[in-house]
Amino acid sequence: MKGPSKHLVPDGFENRRFDLESGVFDGYVKRRDLEDEHRVHLGASDIANECPRHIWYAWRWAYAPKHDPQILRLFQRGHRMENAFTMDLRSAECIVYPNDVDGKQFEYGYLWNHCKVHLDGIALVPQQDGSTKRMIVEMKTMSEKRFKSLESDGLRKAHPDYYRQVQTQLLIVRHAQKNSPNDGPPESIRDKPIDGVIFFAENKNTDEIYIADVWDDLAMQAEIERFLQTLFLTGKAPPPIDCSENAPPCLWCDYKHICREHHYEAIEKNCRTCDHGKPVCRGTHSLPHAVDGRWECAIGNEFGVVCDRWCMNREF
Which domain covers residue 143, as residue numbers?
A: 43-55+65-246
Which pLDDT band, with edges at 50, 70 and 90, does 185 fall under?
confident
The answer to whether position 101 is within a domain reads yes
Split into its structural domains, the chain has a count of 1
Domain of 163, CATH number, reads 3.90.320
The whole-number pLDDT of residue 74 equals 80
pLDDT tens-digit readout, 64-86: 888 788 887 887 887 888 999 99
As a whole number of angstroms, the distance between CA 129 and CA 183 comes to 32
More confident residue, 20 or 138: 138
The answer to whether position 93 is within a domain reads yes
The answer to whether position 314 is within a domain reads no
Q: How many Cβ atoms from other residues are within 10 Å of residue 293's Cβ?
A: 22
As a whole number of angstroms, the distance between CA 197 and CA 140 comes to 13
C-alpha dihedral (292, 298, 302, 308), degrees to nearest 10: -130
Which pLDDT band, with edges at 50, 70 and 90, does 35 fall under?
confident
The whole-number pLDDT of residue 70 equals 82
The answer to whether position 19 is within a domain reads no
Q: Taking each helix axis as running N to C, give the angle between helix 18-34 and helix 69-91, from 0 to 180 degrees, rounded to the nearest 10.
A: 90
pLDDT tens-digit readout, 157-173: 999 999 999 999 999 99
The whole-number pLDDT of residue 155 equals 98
As a whole number of angstroms, the distance between CA 82 and CA 277 comes to 37
The whole-number pLDDT of residue 72 equals 79
Sheet holding 95-97, edge to edge: 95-97, 121-126, 132-142, 196-203, 209-214
Lowest mean per-residue pLDDT among 31-40, 142-151, 152-161, 241-250: 31-40
The whole-number pLDDT of residue 73 equals 83
Q: Are 287 and 252 in contact (CB under 8 A)?
A: no
Closest CA to 255 of 19, 64, 46: 64
pLDDT tens-digit readout, 102-141: 899 999 999 999 999 999 999 999 998 999 999 999 999 9
Q: Are 124 and 93 in contact (CB under 8 A)?
A: no
- Does this model's pTM top 0.85? yes
By percentage, how much of the chain surpasses pLDDT 90?
Answer: 70
The answer to whether position 289 is within a domain reads no
The answer to whether position 27 is within a domain reads no
The answer to whether position 127 is within a domain reads yes
The answer to whether position 139 is within a domain reads yes
Query: Strand, coil or helix: what is 296?
Result: strand
As a whole number of angstroms, the distance between CA 135 and CA 93 comes to 14
As a whole number of angstroms, the distance between CA 212 and CA 190 comes to 22
By percentage, how much of the chain surpasses pLDDT 70?
Answer: 94
